[in-house]
Structure 1
Amino acid sequence: MDFDVIIIGGSYAGLSAALTLGRATRNVLVIDAGKPCNRQTPHSHNFLTHDGDQPADITKAAKAEVLKYPTVRFLEEKAISARQIDGGFNIDVENAGSFAARKLLLATGLKDVLPDINGLAECWAISAVHCPYCHGYEIRNEKIGLLMNGDHAFEMAKNLHLWNKDLTILTNGKSQLSAEQTEKLRSKSITIREDEIIELLHNNGHLEDVVFKNGEKLALKAIYVKPDVEQHFNFDKQLGFELTDLKTIKVDEQQQSTAKGVYAAGDCATLFRSLSIITAAGTMAAVAMNKEMISEEF
């Protein structure tokens, strides 16, 4: 085998795992295409010692720490396929051939599939956000919108009412809220608007107005969105592990997938996308993989 472990994905989960494995003197290859899902995010929050730092700066510092360990190698390329071989796995890389390893960690993140609304992609992770624990403090007490519907809209509005009292639920079509939910929301002065949205007007990603199909506009500071998600790669088909109903990789408490020797950590394995959570998952996966290899060797 070329390596003990190949890690596909070199962001927080992948680098955390690489650090732990490097300190265990394991030979590790990190393959990363350099397109993290938070690349538009101006600042990271709710992560101890890095609150308010730029995500790219955190990653740069983390990578420098990891590469101090001589058994860790970093390859800036795109992994394109994976298959099981005798005793491990073979990974094909776009412009660098193929590599083999005993264990495989997927830290590939998730692909956010946003509603087809002009301007939304440009605002994503800047003023169109998904998590109040990551972004809520910075936009507290502002006039904000929730681009969502049904039960999720109700639960999110209930949570966000702690940070923002001026809330408008934008169902972008007929409301799927129950009569009881609608009554409760209105009792809290939360507006429900069913008009179809055609565009978000913004200044370099900073939301200014929501434009409706009827020509009306609504000025908002920010908007919460619940995007659909997809895995970046079809490794589940290639390696035979299961996905959950939420389209994340199904893992146990030690981050092992349903395919032996394949582990997953970070966004690809959870929708709780806080940096502290996904970093810890990378460490857990590394410890579990190392323990498994020790048992095989002893």
Structure 2
Amino acid sequence: MTSTSPAATSATPAPAARPRRHRPAAGPIPDFDVVIIGAGSAGLSAALVLGRCLRRVLVCDGGAPRNAPSPAVQGFFTRDGTKPAQLLKLGLHELERYATVEVRTARVTAIVRQGKQFELTAEGETGRSRTFTARKILLATGVEDELPPLDGMRELWGTGVLHCPYCHGWEVRDQPLAVYGQGKTATGLALLVSRWSRDVVVCTDGPGNLTTNARRRLRQQGIQVREEPITRLEAGPKDSVRVVFETGEPLARRAVFLHAHQHQRTNLAELAGCRLTSKGAVWVDKNTQTSQPGIYAAGDTTPGTQQAILAAAQGAQAAVHLNEQLTREECPK
């Protein structure tokens, strides 16, 4: 047993040095570590993860999300059936506890690379523009749907006209359904929708451009095809739809599904020089980084299946990659 001198026992030990939090390498200190452009499921999810990493984050909220007309967000774990606006409200509320995260109503209009940082210009609610700097950018701006120029299509979008059977098929199960479109797209969607209903009709609005094999596959599943030109869609009782043709009897359906063409909601990715896929999505690598170093993307902006829960997951994934890349830059070998 060793003895200890009185002097040793009475002395107060020196406090351990507190490690200094990571800081960027030498150079001008930016306003934010990450600027997230877009406040939908992907953007808010990313902000949550980055806030928990003590990152200085700005979320630029550019307006209503793509699913705003939808009556509910379906298939979202713990939030099945929640209204889109309520889901985002809950997400914004959760961010309030993270002091390093700021949310602004602002539309980013320009991104300029300045060395290892970026300068962004954003227009606020009053129309006044201001600039700020960031080490990294996450694009979560989403897409807009290009609906066919058919009377009633836009008015019924999200209620009687639906885009995703995974999102809305259960709500209209076992009821008469229609699929709008031509060629392989309509064939594939009709076969998918037949999972939810045995009464499915493909409405091609003119020549369907269906191969002999496609017609055979549809026929095997009891799916009819109507190729008469369509005059309009009318609202029926309880959110149902009435398809009115130029000739022939109208078709009463509970809902009409279609795969609408899409385009990026903003041209920021293109202006920043980010690579786009042949379908117009923003290309990303396995770490969710675009072809431009320092610019990341998540959610419907990128290729792949589009669902709110998947966008949220991609936002979280992007946040992890962003934090780890920032950490590598702050802790060089």
The TM-score normalised by the length of structure 1 is: 0.96
**Structure 2 CA distance for aligned equivalents of residues 205 and 119 of structure 1:** 16
Distance 1:291 1:189 in 2: 52
Displacement of 1:215? 6.8
Take 1:152 and 1:188, find their aligned partners in 2: how far apart are those partners?
A: 16
Contact persistence 1:144–1:164 (CA under 8 A): yes
CA deviation after TM superposition for structure 1 residue 214, in Å: 2.9
Residue of 145, 160, 173 corresponding to 2:178? 145
What is the match of residue 28 of structure 1? 57
Out of 156, 162, 165, the residue aligned to residue 189 of structure 2 is 156
CA displacement 1:241-278 (0-9 Å, x = unmatched): 11111211101122111110000001111341112211
Letter of the 2:325 partner, please give it.
E
**1:173 alignment partner, one of 180, 187, 206:** 206
SS of equivalent to 1:272 = coil
Q: Residues 38, 25 of structure 1: CA spacing in aligned structure 2 closer, same or farther, 3 A cutoff?
A: same
CA distance in 2, matches of 1:295, 1:206: 53
What are the Cα deviations for residues 36-62 of structure 1, in whole angstroms up to 9, with x where unaligned?
101111111111100111111111011
Cα pair distance change 1:165/1:131, threshold 3 Å: same
Q: Is the 8 A contact 1:83 1:238 kept in 2?
A: no
Gaps of 5+ in 1: none
Asked if the contact 1:122–1:205 (Cα under 8 Å) also holds between the matched residues in 2, the reply is no
CA shift at 1:208, angstroms?
A: 2.6
Deviation (angstroms), 1:228: 0.6
Shift of 1:131: 1.2
Spell out structure 1 runs of 4+ moving beyond 2 A: 203-208, 213-216
Residue in 2 that maps onto 1:270: 303
Q: Which residue of the other structure, out of 323, 328, 331, is the alignment partner of 1:290? A: 323
Are 1:121 and 2:154 an aligned pair? Answer: yes
Alignment-derived partner of residue 53 in structure 1: 82
Partners of 1:15 and 1:188 lie apart in 2 by: 41
Asked if the contact 1:31–1:77 (Cα under 8 Å) also holds between the matched residues in 2, the reply is: yes
After superposing the two structures, state which structure 1 stretch, 134-143 or 271-280, moved more: 271-280
Alpha carbons of 1:264 and 1:241: their partners in 2 closer, same or farther (altered >3 Å)? same
Could you say which residue in structure 2 is the equivalent of 1:214?
Answer: 247
- 5 Å-filtered alignment, 1:202-281, equals 202=235, 206-214=239-247, 216-281=249-314
- Report the more deviating stretch, 91-100 or 110-119: 91-100
Which residue number in structure 1 is paired with residue 118 of structure 2?
Answer: 89
Aligned partner letter, 1:2: D
From 80, 87, 104, the counterpart of 1:75:
104
Whose Rg is larger? 2
Q: Quote the RMSD (CA, aligned, Å).
A: 1.5
Tell me the alpha carbon deviations over residues 99-145 of structure 1, each in whole angstroms, 9 at most, x when there is no partner.
21010000001011110011111111222111111100000111111
- Which AA in structure 2 matches 1:50? R
1:203, CA displacement in angstroms? 5.5
Q: CA deviation at 1:204?
A: 9.5
Aligned length: 298
Q: Which amino acid aligns with 1:11?
A: G
TM-score, with structure 2 as normaliser: 0.86
- Assess, with a 3 A threshold, how the Cα gap between structure 1 residues 271 and 122 changes in structure 2: closer, same or farther: farther
C-alpha separation in 2, matches of 1:267 and 1:186: 33
Deviation digits for residues 137-157 of structure 1, max 9, x if unmatched? 000111111001111222222
Contact preservation (8 Å) 1:120, 1:128: yes
AA at the equivalent of 1:91: L
Q: Distance in 2 between matches of 1:236 and 1:129?
A: 28
Which whole-Å CA distance do the structure 2 matches of 1:41 and 1:184 have between them?
Answer: 31
- 1:42 maps onto 2:71 in alignment: yes
The alignment-based identity, stated in percent, is: 36
